[in-house]
């Protein structure tokens, strides 16, 4: 038996892939397999019933609750859990949404089995494994020149401050306290931010802020 056995859970709605990964994880002495699920809708209860995993392999597109929402939920309840996104999506919006939600790694499903195994070990030991094509997107994003002022979105200084708070994960109550304004004023500013950024949710606003380098 290896000195360290990594507790792993899997959330994947594709039956074929879920079955093959389950067999792989169950048959390896390196891992303590804690269950495979087609939806993360009961992810918190699963952790309470079966035990808290060290690493969760998380699909993005699943029924009832997507993997990005599930990642944010699990990090709120169990911040020590490492989330490794395993998906077909290569677009930058989903990538940054997943990272913003708390994922520490991002692999494409076309990755080889040995790469998935290595990624589980890497993320468990503090790394951030990424498929090379995904890592390149991250590097390209940070290589872009910073936008000093965004005339198109036309956000006020106060709105930019609140948008930065959203990116930092602050609650409405925390924003109100930090900015010395009422909850009603916070909601009003956030509604204006949504309109100016042409988004409908906090996660969309955060992704747009990161992608367009607004904060």
Of 90, 113, 142, which residue sits at a domain end? 142
CATH number of the CATH domain containing 69: 3.40.50.2300
Domain shared by 108 and 65, yes or no: yes
Q: Where are the alpha helices (DSSP H) in the chain?
A: 15-27, 43-50, 67-77, 92-101, 113-124, 132-143, 157-167, 172-179, 183-197, 202-211
Domain shared by 129 and 171, yes or no: no
Of 142, 170, 192, which residue sits at a domain end? 142
* 147 falls within a domain: no
Q: How many domains does the chain have?
A: 2
56 forms beta bridges with 9, 83
Q: For residue 143, what pLDDT is reported?
A: 66
pLDDT digits (tens, 9 = 90+) for 138-159: 777 666 655 544 545 688 989 9
Domain shared by 180 and 74, yes or no: no
Of 142, 172, 201, which residue sits at a domain end? 142
Domain shared by 80 and 171, yes or no: no
Domain shared by 73 and 174, yes or no: no
Burial label for 59, CB within 10 Å (0-12, 13-18, 19+), is: buried
Contact 155, 190 (CB under 8 A): no
How far apart are the C-alpha atoms of 79 and 160, rounded to whole Å? Answer: 28
Domain shared by 102 and 196, yes or no: no
Which range marks the domain in which residue 10 is found?
6-142
How far apart are the C-alpha atoms of 144 and 161, rounded to whole Å? Answer: 22
How far apart are the C-alpha atoms of 68 and 101, rounded to whole Å? Answer: 6
Domain shared by 138 and 198, yes or no: no
How far apart are the C-alpha atoms of 83 and 99, rounded to whole Å? Answer: 9
* 149 falls within a domain: no
User: Quick one: tokens of 40?
Assistant: 């993360």
CATH number of the CATH domain containing 192: 1.10.10.10
Q: For residue 23, what pLDDT is reported?
A: 94
* 150 falls within a domain: no
Domain shared by 75 and 176, yes or no: no
Domain shared by 131 and 199, yes or no: no
Low-confidence ranges of the chain (pLDDT < 50): 148-149, 151
* 1 falls within a domain: no
pLDDT digits (tens, 9 = 90+) for 53-85: 999 999 999 999 999 999 999 999 999 999 999
Domain shared by 117 and 64, yes or no: yes
Domain shared by 70 and 162, yes or no: no
Contact 129, 84 (CB under 8 A): yes
CA-CA-CA-CA torsion sign (166, 172, 173, 177): positive
pTM of the model: 0.65
Domain shared by 100 and 15, yes or no: yes
* 16 falls within a domain: yes
Contact 54, 124 (CB under 8 A): yes
């Amino acid at each position: 038996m290896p000195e360290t056995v990594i507790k792993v859970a899997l959330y994947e709605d594709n039956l074929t892939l879920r079955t093959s990964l389950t067999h792989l994880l169950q048959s390896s002495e390196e891992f303590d397999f804690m269950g495979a699920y087609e939806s993360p809708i009961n992810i918190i209860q699963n952790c309470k019933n079966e035990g808290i995993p060290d690493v969760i392999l998380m699909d993005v597109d699943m029924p009832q609750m997507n993997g990005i929402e599930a990642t944010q939920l699990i990090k709120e309840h169990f911040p020590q859990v490492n989330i490794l996104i395993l998906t077909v999506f290569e677009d930058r919006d989903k990538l940054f949404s997943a990272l913003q939600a708390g994922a520490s790694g991002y692999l494409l499903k076309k990755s080889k089995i040995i790469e998935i195994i290595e990624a589980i070990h890497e993320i468990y030991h503090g790394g951030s494994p990424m498929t090379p094509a995904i890592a390149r997107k991250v590097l390209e994003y940070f290589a872009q020149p910073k936008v000093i002022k965004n005339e198109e979105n036309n956000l006020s200084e106060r709105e930019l401050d609140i948008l930065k708070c959203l990116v930092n994960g602050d609650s409405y109550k925390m924003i109100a306290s930090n900015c010395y304004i009422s909850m009603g004023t916070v909601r009003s500013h956030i509604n204006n931010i949504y309109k100016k950024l042409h988004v409908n949710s906090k996660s969309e606003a955060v992704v747009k802020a990161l992608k367009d380098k607004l904060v």
